[in-house]
Amino acid sequence: MANIRVRVGQRQGTKVIASNKAAANSIGAATDVDTTSRSNYSVLMYDTTTSKYIHVPAAQVVDMADGVDDDAYDGGTW
């Protein structure tokens, strides 16, 4: 790959050229990510029991806001 330098004002900069190398990697390829429950609109949450990131529904993130998995929407105190 060619090394391309650009100058913006008084500073030297390096132009980053898009590459398809990053596209070959996926978060599912990481060894600490459990993809078994992956679905649309899920988010990653760290599970200390398994020491892995797991896919959970967004509602689960709100439920765990108080640190208790009780299937309640915990909005905190105001």
Break the chain into its structural domains and give their ranges. Answer: 23-78
| Cα Rg, the chain, nearest whole Å | 20
Cα dihedral 24→29→30→31 (10° resolution): -150
Q: E strands of 1-78, at which residues? A: 5-8, 11-14, 33-34, 42-47, 52-57
Threshold 0.75, pTM exceeds: no
Q: What is the pLDDT of residues 6-40, one digit of tens each?
A: 566 666 666 666 655 555 577 888 888 998 888 99
Residue 55: band (very low, low, confident or very high) from pLDDT cuts 50, 70, 90: very high
